[in-house]
């Protein structure tokens, strides 16, 4: 975000560690809000994006004052990126119902592996050896955290949860890569995020209608949780994190953003009575270690790029 934009949003004078931590904490609550809303996956994804738009677009206008307008080609790329984000939210919401809010959020951290691998294959950004060490660590962690190693319970579907989690990570990786391409060399944050959120709302609308998961009438209680999700996570959390990442070293930002899955497990235990097993906690620790190794394996000439937060 430009300096003027950060000043306009009141973030320019803050130590970047503080907004990064607050943003990660805000996003960590999103999986719990999904469960408390209790709406179908398509409904949750659609309203999360739709309700955020009246917040994000005015901020985009404020950010872009006295600056050249973004081209329609860049805006179209942001919309396409948002389409993948809509797929990501749709699958992630299904993962939450399959394996629980905390576990689904941990599984989402696999996006770091896929982003790094895709950047290597598509953009020839060869990672360092830490990435190769991180891969088996993360996959082992996914095996334990998924519940395939023995966790049971009513409605618990570990295999489906892992499949949804992998789909979430893949679509989120596509979202990140395309959004980066659309914002290369740009200092705008609120504008691309608003366009991507609009693309996410459109894709969620298509998926929700296609899979009959988008009833337009929801209870007032559910609508309240969806509004909380849109305002706290999609707007407040994302803007805080994206304002902080450019001003933090990659290793520091990586460690700060790992607050998200850790807090999600804690919040799920407190508010949803989800009790992860010892093996799942061990798996979550392995995933976090692997994510740190993967983040540190980014190419040498990208010293301030940090892994993106999980879809939350």
Per-residue pLDDT of 24-63, as tens digits, reads 888 888 888 998 999 999 999 999 999 999 999 999 998 8
- With a CB cutoff of 8 Å and minimum separation 6, the contacts of 108 are 92, 95, 165, 168, 169, 172, 261, 310, 311, 312
Q: How far apart are CA 201 and CA 169, in angstroms?
A: 19
- With 70 as the cut, is the pLDDT of residue 156 above it? no
90 domain-assigned: yes
pLDDT at residue number 277? 78
**4 lies in some domain:** no
Q: Kindly state the tokens that stand for 246.
A: 């450019």
Average pLDDT rounded to a whole number, residues 208-213: 92
Does 24 reside within a domain?
Answer: yes
**In the predicted model, is pLDDT for residue 273 greater than 50?**
yes
Q: pTM for the full model? A: 0.78
pLDDT of the residue at 304: 45
235-271 confidence digits (pLDDT tens): 998 888 777 765 665 445 555 666 677 777 778 888 8
User: Does the residue 22 lie in any domain?
Assistant: yes
Asked if 112 contacts 295 with a C-beta cutoff of 8 angstroms, the reply is yes
**Angle separating helix axes 259-271 and 278-296, nearest 10 degrees:** 160
Res 65: pLDDT: 80
pLDDT-derived band of residue 108, with 50, 70 and 90 as boundaries?
confident
In this structure, is residue 235 part of a structural domain? Answer: yes
In a domain, residue 110? The reply is: yes
- φ/ψ of residue 304, rounded to 5: -115, 10
Closest CA to 90 of 219, 175, 203: 203
Range of the domain at 213: 14-296
Q: What is the mean pLDDT of residues 185-205?
A: 88
DSSP 237: I
pLDDT at residue 159 in the model: 81
Domain-embedded: residue 306: no
Domain count, the chain: 1
Residue 31 belongs to some domain of the structure:
yes
CB atoms under 10 Å from CB of 259, counted, come to: 18
Judge whether residue 306 has pLDDT over 80. Answer: no
SS3 content of the chain, % helix, strand, coil (to 5): 75, 0, 25
Question: How do residues 63-104 score in pLDDT, each as one tens digit?
Answer: 888 777 888 888 999 999 999 999 999 999 998 888 877 778
Average pLDDT, the chain: 78
pLDDT at residue 303, rounded to an integer = 46
User: How would residue 153 be classed by pLDDT, with cut points 50, 70 and 90?
Assistant: low
């Amino acid at each position: 975000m430009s300096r003027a934009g950060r000043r306009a949003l009141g973030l320019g004078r803050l130590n970047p560690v503080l907004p990064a931590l607050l943003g990660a904490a805000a996003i960590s609550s999103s999986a719990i809000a999904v469960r408390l809303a209790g709406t179908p996956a398509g409904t949750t994804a659609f309203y999360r994006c739709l309700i955020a738009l009246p917040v994000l677009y005015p901020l985009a206008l404020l950010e872009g004052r006295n600056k050249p307008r973004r081209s329609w080609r860049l805006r179209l790329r942001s919309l396409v990126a948002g389409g993948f984000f809509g797929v990501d939210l749709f699958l992630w919401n299904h993962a939450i119902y399959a394996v629980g809010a905390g576990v689904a959020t941990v599984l989402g951290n696999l996006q770091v592996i896929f982003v790094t691998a895709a950047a290597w294959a598509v953009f020839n950004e060869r990672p360092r050896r830490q990435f190769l060490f991180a891969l088996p660590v993360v996959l082992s962690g996914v095996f334990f955290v998924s519940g395939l190693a023995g966790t049971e319970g009513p409605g618990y579907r570990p295999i489906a949860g892992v499949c949804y989690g992998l789909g979430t990570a893949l679509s989120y990786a596509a979202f990140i890569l395309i959004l980066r391409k659309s914002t290369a060399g740009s200092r705008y944050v609120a504008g691309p995020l608003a366009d991507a959120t609009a693309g996410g709302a459109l894709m969620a609308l298509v998926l929700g209608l296609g899979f009959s998961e988008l009833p337009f009438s929801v209870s007032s209680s559910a609508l309240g949780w969806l509004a909380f999700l849109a305002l706290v996570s999609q707007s407040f959390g994302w803007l805080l994190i994206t304002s902080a990442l450019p001003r933090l070293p990659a290793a520091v930002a990586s460690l700060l953003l790992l607050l998200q899955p850790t807090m999600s497990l804690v919040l799920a235990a407190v508010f949803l009575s989800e009790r992860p097993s010892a093996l799942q906690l061990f798996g979550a620790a392995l995933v976090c270690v692997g994510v740190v190794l993967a983040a540190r394996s980014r190419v040498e000439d990208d010293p301030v790029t940090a892994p993106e937060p999980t879809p939350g």
